[in-house]
Amino acid sequence: MTQRADFARVKTTGQAKAGRFVVLSTLADPSLETLRTGFITTKRSGKAHDRSLLRRRFRALVQAHAPEFPEIRRFLVTIARPGAAQATFAELEADWLRQARRLGLLSRPAPNP
């Protein structure tokens, strides 16, 4: 996603769940061919190299877990919260998955540790 209007539409009409490190927003759109993702990393998230690292980590999370989504015709926006840059990848993944489950994006239950 690169269009400001798409981000605004997800914010106004979509669903969002906030966690400790991320806010995950989604909006189903039957006109889409595939999943459209967007990442928001503001200066409050950290310095430039921290924001780049967060975007790479968010892309890895989407690539790893998007095949589990029962419906991929949707917008998905991941917003980094302050403190996300100091979190480990495992902490980010756990928080991201928790919010995805709360939004009903995952078709399978979490594996037991």
Domain assignments of the chain as residue spans, ordered by start: 4-102
Any idea which residue has 């400790």 for tokens?
Answer: 20
DSSP-assigned letter for residue 40 = E
CATH code for residues 4-102 = 3.30.230.10
* 5-59 residue pLDDT tens: 999 999 999 999 999 999 999 999 999 999 999 999 999 989 999 999 999 999 9
In which element (H, E) is residue 35 found? none
pLDDT exceeds cutoff 80 at 112 = no
The tens digit of pLDDT for each residue in 67-86 reads 888 888 999 999 999 999 99
Element (H, E) at 13: helix 4-13
CA dihedral 79, 84, 99, 55 (to 10 degrees): 50
What the block records as the tokens of 58 is: 């968010």
**Separation between Cα atoms, residue 43 and residue 85, nearest integer Å:** 11
